[in-house]
């Protein structure tokens, strides 16, 4: 869990600081992000090392520093509805370089989790889920590849859920436990008809 002195009292104190308040602030958002991400965006002093390390920053308006600030200020709507949220490649360069020992990458992942609870999610993420639900693989086998495998003296299907499809039902159980397939199907249908 978060590596900082006096946690979580230090966070409570910071959240009680009215200078950090904006009308749209939800202090609960800050706490939820810290709980899911297991990191400490409230320690950020906005040096910008993260943005300077980010491969997505030079080619878009995505600013990881801004998202970390939003986490501290509790700017839930602003953070979760910003399409830039999905431009993090999760390369962890910011995390490795943060002088405050924060993992900005994990802040982004936590925000994406919270966005998904509001159905905010790019469909390509859900299509990966659908593929795994059916075959166990996010990138399933195909005929060209099957032929190539045979030529290499291997079985046409690898010894995964492809050759042992009886294991797929365990995967379906897990995904159904969280109702993920149901939600994925619903959202994809809403978007694409």
Contact residues toward other proteins (CB under 8 A) are: 36, 55-56, 59-60, 86-93, 95-96, 103, 105, 109-110, 112-113, 116, 121-122, 124-129, 132, 136-142, 144-145, 148-149, 151-154, 158-164, 166-171, 173-175, 177-178, 180
Element (H, E) at 12: helix 9-15
| Spatial separation of the C-alpha atoms in residues 175 and 43, rounded to whole Å | 35
In the complex with other proteins, which residue's Cβ is closer, 19 or 144?
Answer: 144
CB of 14 to other proteins, least distance (A): 23
- For the bound state, the minimum distance from the C-beta of residue 145 to other proteins, rounded and expressed in Å, comes to 6
Q: Nearest distance from residue 1's CB to other proteins, in Å?
A: 8
Pick 4 or 93: Cβ nearer other proteins: 93
Q: What is the CA radius of gyration of the chain?
A: 21
Q: How far is it, in rounded angstroms, from Cα 67 to Cα 94?
A: 13
* Residue 77 C-beta: closest distance to other proteins, Å: 19
Smallest gap, in angstroms, from Cβ of residue 103 to other proteins? 6
Minimum CB distance to other proteins smaller for 16 or for 139: 139
Toward other proteins, which CB reaches closer, 3 or 13?
3
- Residue 116 has, within 13 A of its CA and on its CB side, a CA count of 18
HSE-up of residue 162 (Cα within 13 Å, Cβ side): 16
The DSSP symbol for 59 reads: G
- Select 20 or 187, whichever has its Cβ closest to other proteins: 187
Q: Least CB distance from residue 192 to other proteins, whole Å?
A: 14
Angle, CA of 68, 74 and 77, to the nearest 5°: 95
Give the integer Cα–Cα distance in Å for 52 and 191.
35
Are the CB atoms for 103 and 95 separated by under 8 Å?
yes
Nearer to other proteins, 18 or 124 (CB): 124
């Amino acid at each position: 869990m978060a590596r900082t002195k006096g946690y979580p009292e230090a966070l409570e104190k910071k959240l009680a600081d009215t200078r950090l308040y904006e009308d749209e602030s939800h202090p609960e958002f800050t706490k939820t992000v810290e709980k899911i991400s297991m990191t400490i965006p409230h320690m950020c002093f906005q040096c910008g090392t993260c943005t300077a390390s980010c491969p997505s920053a030079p080619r878009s308006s995505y600013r990881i520093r801004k998202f970390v600030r939003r986490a501290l200020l509790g700017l839930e709507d602003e953070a979760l509805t910003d399409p830039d949220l999905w431009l993090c490649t999760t390369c962890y360069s910011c995390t490795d370089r943060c002088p405050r020992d924060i993992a900005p990458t994990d802040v982004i992942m936590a925000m994406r989790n919270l966005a998904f609870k509001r159905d905010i999610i790019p469909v390509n993420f859900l299509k990966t889920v659908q593929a795994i639900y059916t075959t166990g693989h996010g990138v399933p086998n195909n005929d060209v590849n099957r032929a190539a495998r045979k030529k290499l003296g291997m079985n046409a299907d690898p010894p995964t859920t492809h050759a042992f499809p009886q294991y797929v039902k365990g995967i379906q159980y897990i995904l159904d436990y969280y109702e993920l397939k149901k939600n994925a199907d619903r959202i994809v249908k809403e978007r694409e008809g």
